[in-house]
Amino acid sequence: MKKLVTSLCMLSSLLLANEASNLMSIGIQTSTGTTNRTFENTTGSRDESFDLKSYKILVGKDFAIYGTDAQTSRFYLAYKYNDLDSDIFGSYNTFSLGYQENMDYLPLLNTQNHKILPLIGLELGYATADNGFSEDAFSSEFNAGLVYQFYNMELSLAYTYNYVSWNNSDARDDFNNNQVSLGFTYKIMTGDQ
């Protein structure tokens, strides 16, 4: 887990310092849905379900990966606070490196100042529990939905699937999260156009 964190930090530093991009993104996101927990050890197994609300902040840079002028590919760092409706678990935090592709080549609406585009995204990172119910965990997340771009801002609506595998040596303890998320992103020009 320490190697994963170190690798993510090194890669994120290189991406955020890359001078090939002149757009910086700052975003917030709120999500609501459910967590399905699978717990299994030598004495048996059980499945549980909890309501889940999440709040995310992200900082990233936008790139033009596919040889066009449109900087629609984003690498970012994200922090996410996850509030479980459970007296046992309480809440946990995730820290991740993410990639989001706003599909400028498949527009649903395309005018000078307004666009509606499909989006897909992927995050890899780790999670920590607030109340110490488990060790740290591997976390992965997939997003798919729509983004509305207007001027230097974005509104997104997406389905989010998040998998968290807690590092318990004597048991399998997995979270499968299904959520609907709403996000807002503001893009800042950091250099010459």
Q: Contact 55/62 with Cβ under 8 angstroms?
A: no
Closest-CA residue to 155 (of 167, 165, 145): 145
Tell me the per-residue pLDDT of 10-69, one tens digit each, with 9 for 90 and over: 555 555 555 455 789 999 999 999 999 888 887 888 898 999 999 999 999 988 765 555
Give every CB contact of residue 110 below 8 A, 6+ residues apart in sequence. Answer: none
Question: Please, which pLDDT band fits residue 193 given cuts at 50, 70 and 90?
Answer: very low
- Domain 2-189 fold is Porin (2.40.160)
H or E segment and range at residue 129: strand 114-129
Is pLDDT of 142 > 50? yes
Closest-CA residue to 56 (of 153, 127, 138, 148): 127
Mean pLDDT of all residues in the chain? 84
Q: What share of the chain is helix, strand, coil (3-state, %, to 5)?
A: 10, 65, 25
Closest-CA residue to 113 (of 148, 157, 87, 72): 148
Q: Which residue has the higher pLDDT, 78 or 12?
A: 78
Report, as an integer, the average pLDDT of 138-166.
95
- Dig out the tokens for 192 from the structure: 């010459």
Residue type, 50: F
Cα–Cα distance list, 85 to 35, 92, 94, 131, 156 (Å): 9, 12, 17, 14, 25
